[in-house]
Amino acid sequence: MIAFFIKRLAQAIVVMFVISIISFSIQDNLGDPLREMVGQSVSEAERQQLRDELGLNDPFLVQYGRFVKNALQGDLGTSYFFKEPALDVILAKLPATLELVFGASLIIIFLSVPLGVYSAINPQSLFSKAVMGLSIVGISVPVFLTAIGLIYLFAIELNWMPSYGRGETVDMFWGWESGFFTADGLAHLVLPCVSLASIMLPLFIRLIRAEMMEVLQSEYVKFAWAKGLNPRRIYFLHALKNTMLPVITVGGVQIGTMVAYTILTETVFQWPGMGFLFLEAINRVDTPLIVAYLIVVGAIFVITNTIVDLVYGLVNPTVNLAGKK
């Protein structure tokens, strides 16, 4: 277990290092941050002077060296726009994004398992066919279209749901403001979570259905039938448990992907989270923030994958984490 963690930590450091080099080397192609800081009538000489003050005229290696030196002390740079440490800015926006991902995950878990299992057990039923048909639609419609469609229908036409933002939040701990504990906050969560879930939900329904159908063909299930076990016990205890193994693996990877997808959802809903922040940072050429975001998201990927590996070990004891043979 400890060996596994140390190995993971070493991997994480390499991943972070590679991300920082890549994001640092693309930043020159994102545009000129000075342009976003000064008005259009400011002269080139003034801009050069500001660039010097910011150290933007230094050679790449000097800039990168300075960045690494500060990063090792936990300082990922200062956002040009927010004028605060980039890491603080991102961590302040993290709760909003995590709540969005959490809400979407709840929708996915509570819908995909019953629907997937049902359509595996009754592949010929009309309902299963409808679910499969809809999931094709869901997978093919881009998330921003889903989001705008939802806003149009539920916010403008029916006026049931708010159209943007997080609504009322309550202070939790460590500056975590949650929208899960007020009626207004929950109402604001519904549409963004549904849009975000719409990308992953069809995938999981299909995955669970396919896995389940395969498991139902296996020898041990046939044996269970022959033994005359209760069908409910066969489906939900024996079959489902083995179905979930690949689902957990895919799910872990997809949670990371979902954090990435929040960029679109958050932008459409003006959701004050990390994804929206990142897109804005790109528009503003706020390079320290861009680099910090990529590193934080890289860290999230590494962490979720580590957790998935641990959970995998719990569900399937035959998996050896440290990789010893």
Partner 1 sequence: MNKTVSLLAGAMMSLGLMAGANAATLKMAYDADPVSLDPHEQLSGGTMQLAHMTFDPLVRWDRNLGFEPRLAEKWERIDDLTMRFHLRKGVKFHSGNDFTAKDVLFTFNRLRTSPDFKGIFAPFAELKVIDDYTIDLVTNKPFPLVLNNVTYLFPMDSAFYTGNDANGEPKDKLVKHGNSFASRQLSGTGPYVVSERQQGVRVDFTRFDNYWDTNSPGNVDEIVLTPIKEAPTRVAALLSGDVDFIAPVPPTDHKRIVSNDKVDLVTMGGTRIITFQMNQERVEAFKDARVRQAVAYAINQEGIVKKIMRGFATPAAQMSPEGYLGYNEALKPRYDLKKAKQLMEEAGYADGFTITMMAPNNRYVNDEKIAQAVASMLAKINITVDLKTMPKAQYWGEFDERAADMMMIGWHADTEDSNNFFEFLTACPDTDSGLGQYNSGNYCNPEADKMMHEANSETDPAKRAAIMQKIEQMLYDDAAYIPLHWQNLAWAARKGVNVEPVVNVMNFPYLGDLVIEE
Residues engaged in binding partner 1 (CB under 8 A):
29-32, 35-46, 50, 54, 78, 80-84, 148, 151-152, 155-156, 159, 162-165, 267-270, 272, 276-277, 280, 282-285
Report the 10 Å Cβ neighbour count for 256: 19
Nearer to partner 1 by Cβ, of 249 and 267: the residue is 267
Nearer to partner 1, 78 or 304 (CB): 78
Q: 């804005």: which residue's tokens?
A: 280
Q: Kindly give, in sequence order, each residue whose CB lies less than 8 Å from that of residue 49, ignoring residues fewer than 6 positions away.
A: none
Please check whether residue 289 is in contact with residue 90, taking contact to mean a CB–CB distance below 8 angstroms.
Answer: yes
The least CB distance from residue 163 to partner 1, in Å, is 4
Return the number of the residue (148 or 311) whose C-beta is nearest partner 1: 148
Q: Is the CB of 43 or the CB of 124 nearer to partner 1?
A: 43
Q: Which long-range contacts (CB under 8 A, 24 or more apart) does 34-41 make?
A: 35/285, 36/80, 36/81, 36/284, 36/285, 36/286, 37/80
> 32 or 106, CB closer to partner 1?
32
Torsion, Cα 20 22 25 27, to 10 degrees, reads: -80
Place of tokens 């930043």: 27
Minimum gap (Å) between residue 160 Cβ and partner 1 = 10
Closer to partner 1 by Cβ: residue 133 or 165: 165
Shortest Å, Cβ 198 to partner 1: 17
Burial string for 123-146 (b: 16+ CB within 10 Å, else e) reads: eeeeebeebbeebeebeeeebeeb
Q: How far is the CB of 254 from partner 1 (least distance, A)?
A: 25
Taking the least distance from each CB to partner 1, the nearer of 166 and 238 is 166
